[in-house]
Amino acid sequence: MNQAEHDMLVIDAQDGSRRALDVLVRHHHENLLRFAYSLCGDAGLAQDAVQDGWIKVAGRLRALNDPRAFRGWIYHAVRWRVADLLRRADRRDRPLDGAEPAPPDAEDRDRRIDLAAAIAGLPATERQALQLFYVSGLAIAEIGVVLEIPPGTVKSRLHRARNLLKQCFEGEDDDHR
């Protein structure tokens, strides 16, 4: 879906179109779940946060002045809802059972596990920036809105995260030569 189509759906949803809101939900829901899970490590809590985020956004959709801000707005709502739910439940990170599809061979599986472990080992600020940029596909400015930081800080966090991941795998690449 291109930006113009997305903006029109937001405008239609603001005008009360349930179909438009349903399309927006279908379009963003999976990435929002991944993002919420990356924040809390709990599949149930992530689902609750995303559902609550949609309810909040749907109820306040008419207050959104710029349809282009929708994506950052919904991610921001989910981020805050995750934080609220974590504070209330005082939960800790737990692995998601069955979240990763089985890779075709053992070497690929090991590489995925290594990458997932390396990402999980990143500081939360860098991990969130990576998730939003690479998995959710948000732009630098949108990530800034979600995380409430300037775009330059988003770029710094992405750069730092890439360097940390590179360091994790530099020794491994030497082993495979």
The pLDDT of residue 103: 44
Please determine, for residue 126, whether its predicted confidence score (pLDDT) is greater than 70.
yes
Task: Give residue for tokens 């903006």.
Answer: 7
Give 152-161 pLDDT, tens digit per residue. 999 999 999 9
Residue 130 structure tokens: 């990576």
Q: Answer yes or no: are the C-beta atoms of 36 and 82 closer than 8 Å.
A: yes
Instruction: Give the pLDDT mean for 166-174.
Output: 68
Residue 94 structure tokens: 């737990």
Residue 29 and residue 31: Cα distance in Å, rounded? 6
Give 58-75 pLDDT, tens digit per residue. 889 999 999 999 998 999
Residue 146 and residue 148: Cα distance in Å, rounded? 6
Task: Give residue for tokens 């809802």.
Answer: 81
The pLDDT of residue 157: 93
Q: How far apart are the first and last CA of the chain?
A: 42
Identify the band that residue 113 occupies on the pLDDT scale cut at 50, 70 and 90. Answer: low
Going along the chain from its start, the domains and CATH numbers come out as 1-94 (1.10.1740.10), 105-177 (1.10.10.10)
Task: Give residue for tokens 């919420």.
Answer: 36
